[in-house]
Structure 1
C-alpha cells in the first residue's frame, strides 16, 4: 500500500466550492483509502491506497460534488523528492511570501519559460517537475512583483498554491507515516 498526498484547488475559499474535509475523508475511506488525514481546511489530504489513487480521487470527487475540483495526487516519494529540491532562500525565514505552486494535471509546460522571463528583482523562483518554489514581497512591493501579476491569468488556474508552512507540514506528516 502506498501513501499519497492530495491537493485540491480552489475549495473553501470565501464560502464557495465548499468541501467539508471530514466528509471527504469519510468518502475516500468508504472507497478504499486508509489512514486518511487532512491538514487545515484548504484541501490537503494524505492517505494510503493500494491501486490507482488518481482514479480513486477522481471517482470520489465526481460522485460526491456537483462542481469540478481541480486536484493533484502525488505519491509520498514524489512529494518528498519535489520538496527536497526547495532552494535555501525559499526555506529561510524572512518577511517575504514563500509559496509552492503545485502544477495541476494539464499544466502547460510553456508557462515555465514565461514565469522565468517575467521575474522582477522582487521575485525568486525555482521550477521543478511538479512545483514552482516562489518568493515575492509580502506587503509594500507585492503588487510590483511578477507573482502578483500572474494572479487571475490562465497560468494561475493551472496551479494549486500552498504557503511554505503548509508545504513543509505536509512533508512532515508524510514522513511520520513510516
Structure 2
C-alpha cells in the first residue's frame, strides 16, 4: 500500500462546502481506503491505498459527490512526494521576519509556460514565489488574505489548493507515522 496525502480544495471555508471530517473518514474507509486520518477541518487527509494517484483522486472526488453532493477538487501527493515538497522549499522558515509566512499551493499538474508568464506579469507586491514541478511555494511578507500573489494564483490556469507551512509540517509528520 502507498501512503498518500489527499488535499480537498475549498471545503469548510466561510460556511460553504461543509464536510465533517469524521464523516469524510467514514466515507473513505467504506470506499476501501486504509488508515484514514484527517487534520483540522480544511480537508487534509492522510491515508493508505493500493490505487495509483489518479485512480485515488477519481475515487475520492466521486465518493465526496455521492456522500455530500459536492463537487470538490482533490489534489493527491504520495507520501514520498509530500515529504519532498518540504525538503525542496526554497524559503527558510528560521529566517522569517515577524508577520512573514510560507504557503504551498499544490497544483493539479505542472503549469504551462503561458500560465507561468501570466502569474509572473502580476503585480505581487513584496511577496515572492517559486514553482518546483507541480508545487508553488510562496513567501508572504504580510497577511496571506491581503496578498496580491495569493489572490492571483488562478492566473496559472492550473487548479490547486494552498496550505500554510505549519499545516504542511503536521501533514508530513502524519505521513511519516503511517510509513513506519
Helix, strand or coil at the partner of 2:92: helix
The reply on whether 1:57 has 2:60 as its aligned counterpart is yes
Report the equivalent of 2:89: 86
Q: Structure 1, residues 20-44: CA drift from partner, whole Å, max 9, x if none? A: 1110101110111111000000000
Show structure 2 runs of 5+ residues with no match: none
Show structure 1 runs of 5+ residues with no match: none
Partners of 1:160 and 1:146 in 2: how far apart?
A: 16
The answer as to whether partners of 1:90 and 1:133 remain within 8 angstroms in 2 is: no
Provide TM-score, normalisation by structure 2: 0.83
Moved more, 155-164 or 38-47: 155-164
Report the equivalent of 2:149: 147
Q: Structure 1, residues 142-168: CA drift from partner, whole Å, max 9, x if none? A: 85x5415516x4548822110110011
CA RMSD of aligned residues (A): 2.5
- What does 1:61-140 align with in structure 2 at a 5 Å threshold? 61-89=64-92, 92-94=95-97, 95-104=99-108, 108-109=111-112, 110-118=114-122, 120=124, 122-139=126-143
Count of aligned positions: 174
Partners of 1:121 and 1:55 in 2: how far apart?
A: 37
Provide TM-score, normalisation by structure 1: 0.84
Deviation at 1:104, TM superposition (A): 2.6
